A and B are shown apart, each in its own frame.
Chain A
Amino acid sequence: MTRLLAMLYKEVLQMKRDPITLIIMFMLPLVQLLLFGFAIHTDIKHQSTAVFDQSLTQESRDLLASFTNSEYFDINYVAHTFQEANTLVDGGRAKVAIIIPPDLASNVKHGHSTPIQVIVDASDSTSSSTAISAAQAIGQLKSQELMLKHNPRITDTDLNLYDIRIRAWYNRDAVTVYYMLPGIMGIILTMTMVMITSMSIVRERERGTLEQLMVTPLKTWELMVGKVIPYIFVGYVQTTVSILVGIGIFALPMRGSIFLLYGLTTLFIIASLTLGLVISTISKTQMQAMQMSFLVFMPSVLLSGFIFPREAMPAFFYYLSALLPMTYYIDILRGIILKGNTLLILYSQAAALLIFIIITFLIAVKKFTRMMN
């Protein structure tokens, strides 16, 4: 116990001697969350729109009004030829072009359908899909409105034989920030925790201090635990900053128990730290450790379900992602913050993290012993 305390004493002192790293670690969640939260919106509103209105009638103005009222389209350009509308989209000044045919008014009067052409710049898939679905919805709504006006005998229910009402649970308004922020919290923890511990033992080896440590009665596990514990608290600070920014600035809901969140976050932090220890015992230089951390970091971003749903992955990557602690933590974060899940639902994720910790810790101890020999 004295030895472990000495180890903690030393690690904490060294942490304090390097205040810049410490400040960066605390600022990181703040900066990252603000960046991601404000800059990344996958439900893109107010897309620059060009209009080539060949009808110029009450009906066409009415239709365009419903486009602008949806807030998805801002009519910034009025084109006078089809070519002009095309050029606006080609040049990227407009993301969407709406072409209204000359016979719109007469068609509407006679109850004929009229093709309205909507050109969408699909080089950016997220913004284009939002535009497409918004345009379709507007078309449908408008048509129903007109049919009702022309034929008062038709009731609302006749129009919708299948009345599908979609309710988006947990994130009713499909706010991207809600979906992204919990993931970013996990990404920040992965990045800092894995990297910090991956450097720790290699650094001692590079400086020659490890040799001196190993001739003392200090046990391998004491060394490792001593390296891990101080950073658990750094992880807590990061998590707290993230949660405060999430709730305070982005109005993130906290539907589950905050204690459970911290409890399971502890597991994730330890899992990341022990993974870092493994990296530290197999790399020869700090540079190598850094590169290996990135090797863990990239799949954590891409495969964990943070960006792409795991269900859509090829089998190989699906199972590969099951080896990453981040995969489970994403479930935990979204589960507790957005769905209000309890441990009853999240126990398998918790168990997976626990197993991960035990295995990586054993590997680290074993690799370390072999390295010293």
Chain B
Amino acid sequence: MLCGLLRPTHGQAIVLGCDTASDTDQVKQRIGYMSQKFSLYYDLTCIENMKFYAGLYGLQGQIKKDRIQNVLKLMQITEKRAVLAGSLSGGQRQRLALGCAILHRPEVLVLDEPTSAVDPTSRRLFWNLLAELVKDGKTTILVTTHFMDEAEHCDLIGFLRAGRLIANGSPQNLKAALPARLILLDYPTPGTSQQALKKSGMPYLDAYFFGQHFHVLIATHTQIPKNLYYHAADLTMEDVFIFYDKQQRKGPL
């Protein structure tokens, strides 16, 4: 909808000061978009895909050539330029797609779950590239993701639940605003931790297995019984998200 593909059912969406419904062309020219599914042409080479998209954004002549060279280098796919997109690895395809989306130097880059099918190394490289892109301060990146560790990279996070924004802020603020803290119970197994929690009778917001550990989310003011062995831990984005999600579920929906 933000890219001008769909019309809002009601209300309006403003991107870069333009109404997405009425100034669709403006919006399209000034944003870049990359979807979770690889949506370039498998039967074209990297450079052909890039030339095509450069043309669609109205780039011509020397500027077009230079931009393509730069982006190929930036995305580290220069040596793959003449390879069909269909024969690239997942990570390379993803970088090619990102490359095509930034050829026209968009002011806003919309990435829809960009790393959903990519190995961890490529994921890391990809996020480094994104950091590179925002360095000059001219590009804003909007990412949707299911990975909360990825969300921590961002300056501003918004949680969406069933199409509604349930919380937003910087990672630090979101964590600080949570009226809760996280403790890890120090029992030999997560199972015995769970039993100990039950026995102690301490009120808690949430408790869940986390690998070999047992995480308990408690309200800030909750007194921890003396007989419970624990140590405090830092909240992760995942805890924050689950907290808001549960809150919404309990609340009047």
Contact = CB atoms under 8 A, between A and B. Distances in A.
Interface string B1-39: 001111100000000000000000100110101010111
Contacts of A373: 6-7
A218 B58 CA distance: 9
Contacts of A2: 55, 58-60
Contacts of A215: 3-5, 28, 31, 33
A209 B55 contact: no
A161 interface: no
Contacts of B56: 3, 6-7, 213, 216-218
Interface in A205-259: 207-209, 211-218
Contacts of A216: 28, 53, 56-57
B47 to A, nearest CB: 11
Contact of B29 (A6, A207, A213, A217): A217
Nearest to A15: B43
A298 B31 CA distance: 46
A212 B55 contact: no
Given A3-B55, A9-B52, A209 B41 contact: yes
Contact of B52 (A6, A17, A217, A372): A6
Nearest to B35: A211
Contacts of A14: 41, 43-44
Interface in A3-40: 3, 5-7, 9-10, 13-14, 17-18
Contacts of B51: 6, 9
B5 A18 contact: no
Interface string A352-373: 0000000000000000000011
A13 B44 contact: yes
Nearest to A222: B56
Nearest to A216: B56
B58 A372 contact: no
A13 B48 contact: yes
A5 B38 CA distance: 24
Contacts of A17: 43-44
Given A5-B55, A209-B40, A214 B35 contact: no
B54 interface: yes
Nearest to A3: B56
Interface string B54-96: 1111111000000000000000000000000000000000000
Contacts of A13: 43-44, 48
Contacts, number: 71
Contacts of A208: 35, 37-39
Given A10-B41, A14-B41, A17-B43, A211 B5 contact: yes
Contacts of B6: 372-373
Nearest to B112: A211
Contacts of A6: 51-56
Nearest to B3: A215
B39 A209 contact: yes
Most buried by B among A207, A215, A217: A215
B58 A212 contact: no
Contacts of B39: 207-209, 211-212
Contacts of A213: 56
Contacts of A3: 55-56, 58
A217 B57 CA distance: 6
Contacts of B3: 215
A181 B47 CA distance: 45
Nearest to A8: B55
A212 B112 CA distance: 12
A215 B56 CA distance: 10
Interface in B104-134: none
A160 B4 CA distance: 82
A123 to B, nearest CB: 51
A10 B52 contact: yes
10 contacts: A6-B53, A6-B54, A10-B41, A10-B44, A14-B41, A17-B43, A209-B41, A212-B33, A212-B39, A217-B29
Interface of A: 2-3, 5-7, 9-10, 13-14, 17-18, 207-209, 211-218, 372-373
The 10 closest A-B CB pairs, nearest first, are A6-B55, A212-B39, A215-B33, A216-B56, A208-B39, A17-B43, A215-B3, A10-B52, A217-B28, A208-B37
Given A9-B51, A209-B40, A372-B5, 20 more contacts: A2-B58, A6-B51, A6-B53, A6-B54, A10-B41, A13-B44, A13-B48, A18-B43, A207-B42, A208-B37, A209-B39, A211-B35, A211-B39, A215-B3, A216-B53, A216-B56, A217-B25, A217-B29, A217-B56, A372-B6
